[in-house]
Structure 1
């Protein structure tokens, strides 16, 4: 019988492999989800949500290596929470209440876009520093 430690180690290994190349993982996950759902829009939304987790780890790791830091993940989570608060405050001002589900979706999708951009930028910088010395 598999112990909890080996199960967690297995999940960590799967995450690490998928997070190394999140755009390749995006395509792979999209194909799997599309085969299951047969809906392109739903597949894309689900894949974006799952890939955001991969990008969070990848960008945090790149941040830490580029800036000799160990604060990357916490900084990214802080920014996500601040954006969530701003969007929630905006909804509260406009509608008199905050729609939690809608706010979470907006923040998570914005995180996907922002983390994708950061991933590309950090990879370009990383490759440039590897080539230049």
Structure 2
């Protein structure tokens, strides 16, 4: 039983687009609102894209960039918080994390697509 759970998790980390579509469809059936379904899918699958990009970077580049990605996430969060402090003088950490989480989804989705293409090209040329 545990093996099946591991296989399912591995599949969704390998191909997070399937998980995004699946969560979107389920959420749309429940809420009947496209925007709510998109937000739910983004919030739940960002972690899968992060894991997929970390693994793809190790495969394509041959080294781990997990630390750098973590520093990029914390640095981006600091920029959002600094922006809030300068413009509103009140920092809303929950809102800042939500913004950076959604931006991370877009960034990691783009990185995932680029790294998959780079991996395919690398395998074809070698």
TM-score (ref. length: structure 1): 0.86
Q: Kindly tell me the number of residue pairs found equivalent between the two proteins.
A: 126
Q: 2:117 aligns with which of 107, 124, 130?
A: 124
Q: 1:106 aligns with which of 90, 99, 103?
A: 99
- Compared CA separation, residues 62 and 94, structure 1 to 2 (3 A): same
User: Displaced runs of 4+ in structure 1, greater than 6 A?
Assistant: none
Asked if the contact 1:52/1:108 (under 8 Å) is kept, the reply is yes
Which runs of 5 or more residues in structure 1 are unaligned?
Answer: none
Match of 1:90 in 2: 83
Match of 2:47 in 1: 53
- Compared CA separation, residues 103 and 127, structure 1 to 2 (3 A): same
Match of 1:80 in 2: 73
The root-mean-square deviation of aligned C-alpha atoms, in Å, is 1.7
In structure 1, C-alpha distance between the alignment counterparts of 2:119 and 2:101, rounded to whole Å: 26
Deviations 1:47-94 (A, max 9, x none): 011121110000000011111113x22321221111001100110111
TM-score (ref. length: structure 2): 0.91
In structure 2, C-alpha distance between the alignment counterparts of 1:16 and 1:31, rounded to whole Å: 21
Q: 1:16 aligns with which of 10, 14, 23?
A: 10
Residue 57 of structure 2 is aligned to residue 63 of structure 1: yes
In structure 2, C-alpha distance between the alignment counterparts of 1:84 and 1:11, rounded to whole Å: 33
Match of 2:25 in 1: 31
Asked if the contact 1:15/1:54 (under 8 Å) is kept, the reply is no
In structure 1, C-alpha distance between the alignment counterparts of 2:54 and 2:20, rounded to whole Å: 18
